[in-house]
Chain A
């Protein structure tokens, strides 16, 4: 069976290598991809949207529908992980606590110490080391990571970046807190309900901007009509429309990343994680 698989893989690989010979060479200006419509975008994108980064202009303006449904796909991925993984039963096995001032670990067979107790803090069942340096470095690092993420979202017009990348980095900063402390700390900062509301809010912002354009009298996601309510010309309105849409994408992607991580690493119980 293995031999047959190997033969098939080698044959298909050889076919693929053979067919790549017909591809246009890399960076060929006469290839079909760069003669059909790319020249129009490269020449006109800055005039029409005042966005120097053509990739952002194409992604969020000329190809806005596609990006909207990409955001929808990410939203559905988050919902799918939630439906498949989330368990609403409480973990009923033993729990572990650490006495804060002495560092002694308590193992409690049944019952719990109330969460409000300041003498004891709950620790994960799989023992996690108490590491002051890792905790504090990650706690200090997180705001800078978030600041960089906001820069990536807001500066996507001028440099590489945009909603997807910035959203992932924002989500990663919360995941960093969850890994370096524990999941309950991260959920204390941004709760499960908030995450799921944010997941929907991002998609709503994106499609809401599109619907607003329709209300103002142009096509869906044609940001030029936003100039009527933003008091700018149509070119600036398209640039600002791209920014609104990127913010929506960023919010959804951030919330989905946190939600998937929380469900995946805590077995769907959202109390003890990695």
Chain B
């Protein structure tokens, strides 16, 4: 495990998570959530859990982003709060 890489990805995970909470545009939020999932997938891969990482990449970053975009498409793009 390379600790510089680990630290950089951890910081990016936190940035993506806070960004996904703060953004008003729900489409942007869905994309940020996909980025968060992908960074988590990298973290799993660094820790050696390759199967979990593969699941996270396909389910978290792939299909669930599509589901979020589909839900935004059928509801609204702006949040109230």
Most A CB within 10 A of own CB, among B53, B69, B74 = B74
A261 to B67, CA, bound (A): 6
CB interface residues, A 120-179, toward B, < 8 Å:
152, 160-162, 164-165, 168-169, 171-172, 175, 179
A160 to B73, CA, bound (A): 34
Given A26-B47, A160-B53, A161-B51, A261:B70 Cβ within 8 A: yes
* Residue ID in chain A nearest B50 by CB atoms: A160
Query: B58: which of A56, A165, A265, A273 is its contact (CB, 8 Å)?
Result: A165
A170 to B74, CA, bound (A): 24
Is there a chain B Cβ closer than 8 Å to A79's Cβ? no
A260 to B70, CA, bound (A): 10
Given A260-B67, A264-B74, A265-B70, A168:B62 Cβ within 8 A: yes
B70 touches A165 (CB 8 A): no
Given A55-B51, A175-B63, A169:B70 Cβ within 8 A: no
Residues of B within 8 A of A257 (CB): 63
Is there a chain B Cβ closer than 8 Å to A119's Cβ? no
Is there a chain B Cβ closer than 8 Å to A94's Cβ? no
A161 touches B71 (CB 8 A): no
Residues of B within 8 A of A47 (CB): none
A112 to B31, CA, bound (A): 37
- The SS class assigned to the A binding surface is helix
Residues of B within 8 A of A168 (CB): 58-59, 62-63
Given A162-B51, A175-B66, A274:B59 Cβ within 8 A: no
Given A160-B53, A164-B59, A267:B74 Cβ within 8 A: yes
A243 to B55, CA, bound (A): 18
Nearest 8 pairs of A and B residues by beta carbon? A265-B70, A160-B50, A168-B58, A55-B51, A264-B70, A160-B51, A160-B54, A165-B58
- A-contacting residues of B (Cβ < 8 Å)? 47, 50-51, 53-55, 58-59, 62-63, 66-67, 69-71, 73-74
18 further interface pairs, Cβ-Cβ under 8 Å (given A165-B54, A168-B59, A264-B70): A59-B51, A160-B50, A165-B55, A165-B58, A165-B59, A168-B58, A168-B62, A169-B62, A172-B66, A175-B63, A175-B66, A261-B63, A264-B74, A265-B70, A265-B74, A267-B74, A273-B70, A274-B73
